[in-house]
Amino acid sequence: MTQPLPPPTATTATGPTDAPALARIREVVARGSRFLITSHARPDGDSIGSQLAFALALDRLGKSWRVVNHDRVPLQFQPFPGADRVEVAATVSGAIDALFVMECGDLSRPGVAGLDAYQQAGCAIVNVDHHEGNTGYGTVNWFDGTAAACGEMVADIIDAIGVPLDREIATHLYLTVLTDTGTFRHGPITSRTFELCRRVAGTGVDVAGIWRQVYETATVGRLRLMGELFTRMRLEAGGRLAVLAMDEELLRATGANYDETDDLINMPLRSKDVEAVAMFKSVDGTGALRVSLRSRGEVDVREIARRYGGGGHKNAAGFTAPANDQPTRDRIVADVVATLGDARR
């Protein structure tokens, strides 16, 4: 199926621009010619941008690559370079030299069958993640919780393999930072973040145009969805917590699609009174409940997500609850309310 390349001696590194991890990744890239790249199901801007920035860097080296995800590229990201080459598949096979997995805590997170077969065959697996709770499943494991986006780590990898940033690669790196920080509103934003943005701007990327493509290409269905969603919004904890709920029936009634819903959770935080948001999304046909949490300041929603098997950042986290019922929703709301109380102490 594949050849282990290089010999699978595990390397685990934690922290920004970690030299041992980058040296090992550089070795994997130098010795390989066929690469498979994947990320988590329901890809967001960070996962798409991280995968394609790295894939385009491999292009510059004359390497062969496939990006395979369980779900399609969201509509607003489809015009970006290389997005038309992303494969959507429930399973994957074929000979490769190395597997790169972006921002996935374990190898089941992409939702693509066949990845474990590469692991069992001794294939080199490079695990690049900035979310806490990573299980260290790779041959090379690089975790950096200080990165505002996985794209910051990918930028370091691209530098390490000797590929200069060009406009196409930089477009995707900016997409990762723009979306994963909620347009620079949350996450561990540091000077490293803005240094990457400086480099992106230096390539001639139209950063304002990227913002418009991501956030100002809504359908009328999205506008209708916003009206219904915020009309039904419930406030808890004296108005400090906004609770939003969405299901397939609401999407059908408004004519919106799932791709257009991700950033809606941030809107209640524009109120001076709202300090946290919980959004419940019913997963059609599964009975599961997708929960997204946002907050600001010292309100740590990541700890809540961890209790339910999820993760994320201090001010942006999420998880999937197996039961979609009112007691589960009430318990989650109570957890957020309790966290709001703790944040005021």
| Co-location of 170 and 269 in the same domain | no
- Give the pLDDT of residue 259: 79
Other residues' Cβ atoms within 10 Å of the Cβ of residue 94: 12
- With b for 16 or more beta-carbon neighbours within 10 A and e for fewer, the 274-301 pattern comes to bbbbbbbbbeeeeeebbbbbbbbeebbb
237 half-sphere exposure, CB direction, 13 A CA radius: 23
Domain end residue (candidates: 214, 235, 267) = 214
- With b for 16 or more beta-carbon neighbours within 10 A and e for fewer, the 171-189 pattern comes to bbbbbbbbbbbbeeebbbe
| Co-location of 331 and 197 in the same domain | no
Amino acid at 143: F
The answer to whether residue 269 sits within a structural domain is: yes
The answer to whether residue 28 sits within a structural domain is: yes
- 291-318 pLDDT, tens digit per residue, is 999 999 899 999 999 899 888 888 989 9
| Co-location of 27 and 161 in the same domain | yes
Domain end residue (candidates: 181, 214, 247) = 214
Do the Cβ atoms of 124 and 97 come closer than 8 Å? Answer: yes
- 170-225 pLDDT, tens digit per residue, is 999 999 999 999 899 887 899 999 999 999 999 999 999 999 999 888 889 999 99
The answer to whether residue 5 sits within a structural domain is: no
| Co-location of 259 and 164 in the same domain | no
| Co-location of 251 and 167 in the same domain | no
Residue appearing with tokens 């524009």: 270
The answer to whether residue 189 sits within a structural domain is: yes
The answer to whether residue 3 sits within a structural domain is: no
| Co-location of 75 and 180 in the same domain | yes
- Structural domain of residue 338, as residue ranges? 220-343
| Co-location of 204 and 288 in the same domain | no
Do the Cβ atoms of 243 and 230 come closer than 8 Å? Answer: no
Q: Residue 225 has which token pair?
A: 């969805």
The answer to whether residue 2 sits within a structural domain is: no
Q: Residue 156 has which token pair?
A: 């370091």
Split into its structural domains, the chain has a count of: 2
| Co-location of 119 and 39 in the same domain | yes
| Co-location of 58 and 110 in the same domain | yes
The answer to whether residue 6 sits within a structural domain is: no
- Give the pLDDT of residue 345: 54
- Give the pLDDT of residue 209: 96
The domain that holds 42 is classified in CATH as: 3.90.1640.10
The answer to whether residue 242 sits within a structural domain is: yes
Q: Is the dihedral of CA 132, 138, 143, 147 positive or negative?
A: negative
- For residue 214, the SS3 value is helix
| Co-location of 120 and 268 in the same domain | no
Residue numbers of the chain with a pLDDT score lower than 70: 1-17, 284-285, 343-345
The domain that holds 279 is classified in CATH as: 3.10.310.30
Domain end residue (candidates: 173, 192, 214) = 214
| Co-location of 143 and 116 in the same domain | yes
- Taking Cα atoms as reference points, which of 46, 325, 18, 269 lies closest to residue 172? 46
Do the Cβ atoms of 2 and 97 come closer than 8 Å? Answer: yes
- Give the pLDDT of residue 9: 47
CA gap 108, 121 in Å, rounded: 17
Given its phi and psi angles, is residue 93 left (phi above 0), alpha (psi -120 to 50 degrees) or beta?
beta
Dihedral angle over CA of 184, 164, 210, 254, nearest 10: -90
| Co-location of 23 and 164 in the same domain | yes
119: Cβ–Cβ under 8 A, 6 or more apart, which residues?
Answer: 99, 107, 125, 137
- Give the pLDDT of residue 286: 73
